[in-house]
Chains A and B, each alone.
Chain A
């Protein structure tokens, strides 16, 4: 038996609104999904599990028709779908009245239903979310029925606001595989048994690292094994640039451009500036954004001032008072920045 486990595709999402690449990202989410289905047509699997949030919002009929036609093109694969919190099944949901292709099973109830696969010795359990927020631990007493074959559960949620899950209890409930959805970064709860595959494409800047789906298969002894298959067109990466007293704006731009060239021009980056910079450096973080797809720059660098020495040197004058004012307490990031800004302004305009 071979299966593919997808979740949190979020078709229709528009990541990084306001950036130059936002529109392509919206398209890439669809393209990657189509590519995965096309891959199944080439190398058919027996089962395709989609553990919720296939759509970013409640789907429209035309969107369902679109994905349904894709599923119809892989008739050898039985597709099992549940709705997640984003595409939840409300009263007017297009999911409710949609007629799916023969090989598609949509779980249209909040109660856990179970369905015997018509080709494989597999019983699939699943339920859909009917509201965005569900604080009930709906999975608490769910366990497989008696019977041979594999018992596979599809579920969406796992945090406080979305069907909290007691993973220890779930691990001992007796399912052969639990295909989870909701967490966008791939996460293995129990190896080969309970897995969040994550979104095939990352959806925002916090979802760094590889993205894709999970492929499962049984070995000769009938034991299920899984592996993660990267599928994302691009990833979000963090870059930290450490400044020192010699660093110039040019250096920063060159280093950043090189690092981006090395780890992929197509990728999207969050940049953090750390270290100590010279007061002479006219730092223009906004200009760094021209070095690639940079979604965010966080400047945590400090001015290269020896505060203790300066406080002593300027004791009894405004500069001394200023340093002392900020050093008397635990400073927040804004206060640290204020200290640097004010000190720099006072010292640089000083006629000493």
Chain B
């Protein structure tokens, strides 16, 4: 791609200016604040448009920054360029009220809306982010050595992992992990509370089961005692049988004694001798008395058994009631245990139900994984290429003094001299700037693919010494690309003239 001419109607502080650009090196010279950066922003705005930000961000977005104070309705201009062997004219008005865009192919006469994909195709689908990363090269932002090293490291890591030097995957991951940690803490708290509840229920069940065991023991004991109370399993009938037998015995004793008394009575009647009579009668009386005595003691025994039976029955009834009661209490305990078991199961379900915290954690993990995976893809695609090209360019602009850029597993960069490997921290600012430049150029070659874009170098050579700058300008000349160097010093033009390198000088 070659930019041929720029006309700015109204853009920032520039009004109605036209600049012709040539192939090879263009030097845009102007004092500080004279609008060099404005020209670069204009070119980018022409190619990618200037969308308004929404919300609070709109207050100091690009649109606002470059919106002209006078004639804000004429906010834009025209740019002529060549790409893919065709010449184009692109005209835009950025103003909100009079937004306009027109892309004319000067060879075919075709007129299209630039924002409907036609321009993207002409630009080889180089996106705005890629443009920012490759076409326009600004100065490194950091001043001190330490920060400069870090910035350069980040650039390299950004390119390798995301094809975008401004992206810091490390910090982005850190941010995601911190957010995830926050949700993890909440989730743990939630889980702990649920688990504490589960433990409470479990101990409740344990307590109830103890109670149940006691009741079971009690039930067994009652049953045992009840069994013991009725020997040989005769139960309460045993008393009745005994009493009946006693009753019979009583009668039998009486009957037998009467029968037994009959003989002495007869003897008393039959015998003549009074002594015998008396003896027989006495015997009869004794027998009868003995019989009555036996009967009476049997009857007393019956009473005793009767009393005992009543007592036994009372105790037995009490035990039966006790047994019934215990059985009921057991059933109740069982219900309570089963109810708590249910509660436990429900709690278990709640523990495994996905909480909103878990959802966030899942999303955050997915984001982290995806970033890592996609970054790995990019790294695999460009990592090695980027290093070899950066090395080659660095070697080119340092006259072979520094060559290979190495990177260890921590993404720490180092350069190789002929004798040894030097870590970045040991290098001068000038050398760091050279590495930075090499990196940007390498990225440009890599990312822009088949469509070589111009290189825009916006005030980048401030800390270059004469020798470095001269080597770099020579290298640029040999690269055969359109280059725009904006500067506020005359050094570049002077050196180019001294070397006899042709260039196009533009004064702002």
Number of interface residues of A (CB under 8 A): 51
Which of B133, B360, B366 has a CB less than 8 Å from the CB of A335? B366
Please list 16 pairs of residues, one from A and one from B, whose beta carbons are closer than 8 Å in the complex, sorted by A's number: A18-B193, A18-B197, A313-B48, A316-B125, A316-B129, A316-B130, A317-B133, A318-B164, A319-B162, A322-B374, A334-B362, A345-B173, A348-B172, A349-B167, A350-B166, A351-B166
Residues facing A in B416-460 (CB within 8 A) are: 447
Task: Flag if A304 contacts B374 (CB, 8 Å).
Answer: no
Cα A94 to Cα B334 in complex, Å, equals: 10
Cα A342 to Cα B373 in complex, Å, equals: 13
Complex interface bits, B487-504 against A, C-beta within 8 A gives 1, otherwise 0: 000000000000000000
Complex interface bits, B160-189 against A, C-beta within 8 A gives 1, otherwise 0: 011110111101111110010000001000
Nearest B residue to A286, CB-CB: B186
Give the distance to chain A from B495, nearest Cβ to Cβ, in Å: 31
Residues facing B in A325-340 (CB within 8 A) are: 325-326, 333-335, 337-339
Cα A13 to Cα B171 in complex, Å, equals: 48
- Supply 12 further A-B pairs (C-beta < 8 A) apart from A318-B169, A342-B370, A348-B172: A18-B194, A58-B339, A59-B335, A278-B56, A315-B130, A319-B162, A338-B364, A345-B175, A349-B174, A350-B167, A351-B141, A351-B168
Which of A57, A299, A320, A345 has a CB less than 8 Å from the CB of B339? A57
A298 within 8 A of partner (CB):
yes
Cα A213 to Cα B108 in complex, Å, equals: 80
B238 within 8 A of partner (CB):
no
Task: Flag if A315 contacts B169 (CB, 8 Å).
Answer: no
Chain B residues contacting A349 (CB-CB under 8 Å) are 167-168, 171-172, 174-175
Give the distance to chain B from A13, nearest Cβ to Cβ, in Å: 10
B350 within 8 A of partner (CB):
yes
Cα A223 to Cα B192 in complex, Å, equals: 56
Task: Flag if B447 contacts A325 (CB, 8 Å).
Answer: no
B299 within 8 A of partner (CB):
no
Question: Do most interface residues of chain B lie in helix, strand or loop, or is the interface mixed?
Answer: helix
Complex interface bits, B362-380 against A, C-beta within 8 A gives 1, otherwise 0: 1110111011001101100
Also in contact, A309 and B176, with CB within 8 A (given A17-B197, A318-B162) = no
Chain A residues contacting B163 (CB-CB under 8 Å) are 316-318
Chain A residues contacting B359 (CB-CB under 8 Å) are 333-334, 337
Chain B residues contacting A97 (CB-CB under 8 Å) are 328
Also in contact, A317 and B129, with CB within 8 A (given A57-B342, A94-B335) = yes
Cα A146 to Cα B183 in complex, Å, equals: 65
Q: Which 4 A-B pairs have the closest CB atoms?
A: A318-B162, A342-B367, A337-B363, A315-B127
Task: Flag if A341 contacts B55 (CB, 8 Å).
Answer: no
Chain B residues contacting A317 (CB-CB under 8 Å) are 127, 129-130, 133, 162-164, 167, 378
Chain B residues contacting A286 (CB-CB under 8 Å) are 186
B233 within 8 A of partner (CB):
no
B331 within 8 A of partner (CB):
yes
Chain A residues contacting B378 (CB-CB under 8 Å) are 317-318, 321
Cα A297 to Cα B374 in complex, Å, equals: 32
Task: Flag if A325 contacts B367 (CB, 8 Å).
Answer: no
Chain A residues contacting B328 (CB-CB under 8 Å) are 61, 97
Cα A57 to Cα B175 in complex, Å, equals: 47
B136 within 8 A of partner (CB):
no
B10 within 8 A of partner (CB):
no
